[in-house]
Copies of this chain bind each other. A is one copy, B any other.
Amino acid sequence: MSKNIVITIGREFGSGGREIGQKVAQALDIGFFDKNLIDIAAKKSGMDSSLLYQADEKASNPFFSAYLPSGSEYGTINDRLFWTQSSIIKDLAEKQSCVIVGRCADYVLADYENCLHVFVYAPLEDRIERIMERYLIDTPHAAKKEIHREDKVRKSYYQYYTDLKWGISAGKHLSIDSSFLGIDKTVDLILDIIQKKWNIN
């Protein structure tokens, strides 16, 4: 690949966005980053990774978020994680082609060229089915509750750090219902777009 391209993927819980991102990265033989950004952030910041995992993709909350020792530059673990991850994401974009899932990466890289910003969603019934299978949840009702809870967390995280609305087209190049073509053909479609844009495949 002659130049770096970065594909960022926002996603509804249970939409298959992460799997799509992984398969796009595999097909292009490029890096894939999602939760593993936390370990990189832990190394970079010297903070405890178990604390960072708790704060992952969650908005700061003045009442419940863990505060850093006084004298620290940042208020909460969540803020510190967000800013550390943002700086790692920018570094990655300078150095390599990759797929980044979540972490407001579309917002962090809004001024970067050679990015494709995607949002993946799906009808609730498809997400329920996926979540039940993936997390071995017994009932559709429990899966639905988990979906609403997780979407709410992601939404408030995204809106807290970006001041943009989560899940709408602003800042995205493409939003796609993964149930329309299914996971593998959606992956192919994203590869088509990359090929059309940058002649890369």
Contacts and interface: CB of A to CB of B under 8 A. Distances in A.
A106 to B, nearest CB: 12
B181 A177 contact: no
12 contacts: A116-B180, A168-B168, A169-B169, A172-B175, A173-B177, A173-B180, A174-B175, A175-B176, A180-B193, A180-B197, A181-B193, A185-B197
A196 interface: yes
Interface string A113-149: 0001001010000000000000000000000000000
B181 A196 contact: yes
Interface of A: 116, 119, 121, 167-169, 172-177, 180-181, 185, 188-189, 192-193, 196-197
A173 B126 CA distance: 14
B189 A193 contact: yes
B172 A177 contact: yes
B173 A173 contact: no
A168 B121 CA distance: 11
A134 B174 CA distance: 25
A167 B121 CA distance: 15
Contacts of A172: 175, 177
A180 to B, nearest CB: 4
Among A116, A177, A185, A197, find the residue whose CB has the most chain B CB atoms closer than 10 A: A177
Given A169-B175, A174-B175, A189-B193, 19 more contacts: A116-B180, A119-B169, A167-B169, A168-B169, A169-B177, A173-B176, A173-B180, A174-B174, A174-B176, A174-B177, A175-B175, A175-B176, A180-B197, A181-B193, A181-B197, A185-B197, A189-B189, A189-B196, A192-B192
A6 B76 CA distance: 51
Contacts of A116: 180
Contacts of A180: 116, 173-174, 193, 197
